[in-house]
Amino acid sequence: MQATASAHRLHLFSPFTPAAFTPRGSAARRRNAAAPATVRMALREDGPSLAVVGVTGAVGQEFLRVLSDRDFPYRSLRLLASRRSAGRRIEFEGRGYVVEELQEESFDGVDVALFSAGGSVSREMGPAAVERGTVVVDNSSAFRMDPGVPLVIPEVNPDAMAHIRLAGRAKGALIANPNCSTIICLMAATPLHRHAKVVRMVVSTYQAASGAGAAAMEELEKQTREVLDGKQPTCEIFKQQYAFNLFSHNAPVLSNGYNEEEMKLVKETRKIWNDMDVKVTATCIRVPVMRAHAESVNLQFEKPLDEETARQILKGAAGVIVLDDRASNHFPTPLEVSNKDHVAVGRIRQDLSQEGNLGLDVFVCGDQIRKGAALNAVQIAEMLL
């Protein structure tokens, strides 16, 4: 069902609301007041027609929250998902919608489509949407490394999509959302890279359940209750106990010994920075945290950069806050960034193994569903306007 503009403002509610997801309103806007400037126009006749693909999933639901929080302008909204989810009713900002089954014809008349339905769906339906004139912002890995598709973090490389705008477009286009761990890492590393040029980056990630979807989040909660009750944990998503445990990221391991998640960080960093020479290595770990990733990042620079200068650079960076209180041992945590737009950086310190102020260590936390996925995609859509 496609609903057109009406005069009243809307508030988000969905029947698909896992325990970790809560509707966001004015309080959320106040918490995120320091985030980059937003478009505040909401439902209006001259806004773009909008579709959300995979709307019943964790990121799909977050798309709706972010659109509402940022008053994204749209004249109509179409909610799309698999045949299994078709027919489900969702209320968004006071208006009722029926989820439609995703088909190629779903994109007729749609200006912008936010995709988060998995790589296979994106590979099939993304080009079909583009053929119908839709600009697709895709959250999957399907097109990230395609040289003809921009891979964009708005605070990092907005120029990569400068040639794509809605006004006057006769054809559609594809824009790729980077992987969540890449976004969170580069939000912190890029401002320092611009100042001193990173030549090598070593990343260790501590990744939340949300990266594997709503079902993984529900299983983590269920396992926690089961273990505390002395029962055998239900292991369906990860095939091993997740509660009170951590393990190497569940992505397939490649012939070089890296898993796919780790190689995403390597390849995506090079593409986003437009630097095929930067050396990147990563180790990705799944930890029993609900929805925010943490990352330890070691940086080696071409030019000297002392920690105080780095701290000031990060304090001035868009979308970043610095939590670096050594006296009280207060640094970023996943809980503090959950449901927040910003990425938090702390533990800023000189790497003592490198001489001449050529190395730094930082610790970064960011909400995987929000800045790591939905928020970044909506920011990309805002740049199209």
Give the pLDDT confidence of 100-121 residue by residue, as tens digits.
Answer: 999 999 999 999 999 999 999 9
The band of 161, judged by pLDDT with boundaries at 50, 70 and 90, is very high
pLDDT at residue 171, rounded to an integer: 82
- The CA distances from residue 239 to 233, 250, 253, in Å, are 10, 10, 16
Q: How far is the C-alpha of 248 from the C-alpha of 377, rounded, in Å?
A: 27
Domain coordinates in residue numbering, the chain: 40-176, 181-208+246-368
Would the pLDDT of 281 be above 70?
yes
Would the pLDDT of 18 be above 50?
no
Average pLDDT of the segment spanning 273-298: 98
In CATH, what number does 181-208+246-368 get? 3.30.360.10
Q: How far is the C-alpha of 352 from the C-alpha of 341, rounded, in Å?
A: 32
pLDDT at residue 168, rounded to an integer: 66
Q: Which residues pair with 292 in a beta bridge?
A: 367
Of 97, 90, 55, 54, the residue nearest 76 (C-alpha)? 97
The band of 170, judged by pLDDT with boundaries at 50, 70 and 90, is low
Q: Is the dihedral of CA 81, 85, 88, 90 positive or negative?
A: negative
Average pLDDT of the segment spanning 168-183: 91
Indicate which residues carry an active-site annotation.
Answer: 180, 293
Residue 10: Cβ within 10 Å count: 18
Architecture of the domain whose range is 40-176: 3-Layer(aba) Sandwich (3.40)
Of 365, 350, 364, 366, the residue nearest 299 (C-alpha)? 350
